[in-house]
């Protein structure tokens, strides 16, 4: 696994990097102290698995740096890291396409859990920014109450993650957020974030339109194959 970790607080960045390498020596961490450093790493590394961005570091210009990073490499998951982040900033970052929010107060074990989940296609955010209680999903399988639908044949250029394809499959069955959360062993709020990401990537304004666009895209893909 290769991670770009950008934070202008060198002590924090080095300490967390040290913890990550202790937890998993196979991880390669590319350090940067500003957005320019992130861009340089992306120009010379085509196999990055995750980008961690400090929300307040030089070059970010609010959330514009996040938008720029996602636009440059939309297939690489990006998570924001911050010691002081407003609820509105976190929600906006997620709506832009961030795959997670890691408070700097998060314990090291939780950070590793977050990294693995985000790289695996999950969204990671704390339930409460004061307690840092984790609301990220636990992937323990599917409830027997509802069968897992086949992943819809959405073209790869839509950049849906495997989890988003799973959620979309349930949406196309008419499942509610609670149904999906129960079937995939997720928190409802996590399902909502996945639905938001699906809508954004498909260019839909709501879940109903997302299903319609997904059906059209799947039909077009089927016709192209046959």
Give domain 156-225's CATH architecture. Answer: Orthogonal Bundle (1.10)
Question: How far from the centroid of its chain's Cα atoms is residue 149's Cα?
Answer: 22
Give domain 2-119's CATH architecture. Answer: 3-Layer(aba) Sandwich (3.40)
pTM value is: 0.62
Per-domain residue ranges of the chain: 2-119, 156-225
Range with the largest mean pLDDT of 68-77, 131-140, 150-159, 178-187: 68-77
Q: Do residues 107 and 133 touch, judged by C-beta distance below 8 A?
A: no
Question: CA geometry: angle at 204 spanning 171 and 188, to 5°?
Answer: 40
* Percent of the chain's residues with pLDDT above 90: 29
The b/e string for 108-133 (b: 16+ C-beta within 10 A; e otherwise) is eebbbbbbbbbbebbbbbbeebeeee
Q: How far apart are CA 166 and CA 142, in angstroms?
A: 11
Write the pLDDT tens digit of every residue in 165-206.
Answer: 888 888 877 788 888 888 888 888 888 889 998 998 888 888
């Amino acid at each position: 696994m290769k991670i770009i970790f950008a934070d202008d607080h060198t002590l924090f960045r080095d300490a967390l990097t040290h913890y990550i390498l202790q937890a998993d020596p196979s991880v390669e961490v590319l350090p940067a102290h500003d957005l320019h450093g992130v861009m340089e790493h992306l120009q010379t590394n085509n196999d990055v698995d995750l980008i961690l961005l400090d929300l307040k570091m030089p070059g970010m210009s609010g959330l514009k740096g996040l938008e720029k990073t996602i636009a440059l490499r939309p297939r690489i998951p990006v998570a924001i890291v911050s010691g002081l982040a407003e609820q509105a900033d976190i929600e906006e970052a997620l709506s832009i396409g961030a795959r997670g929010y890691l408070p700097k107060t998060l314990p090291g074990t939780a950070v590793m859990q977050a990294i693995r989940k985000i790289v695996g296609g999950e969204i990671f955010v704390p339930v409460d920014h004061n307690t840092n209680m984790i609301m990220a999903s636990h992937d323990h399988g599917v409830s027997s109450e509802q069968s897992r639908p086949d992943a819809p044949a959405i073209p790869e250029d839509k950049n849906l993650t495997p989890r988003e394809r799973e959620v979309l499959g349930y949406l196309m069955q008419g499942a509610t957020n609670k149904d999906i959360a129960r079937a995939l062993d997720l928190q409802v709020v996590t399902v909502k974030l996945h639905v938001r990401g699906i809508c954004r990537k498909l260019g839909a304004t709501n879940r109903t339109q997302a299903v319609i666009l997904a059906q059209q895209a799947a039909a077009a893909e089927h016709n192209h194959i046959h």
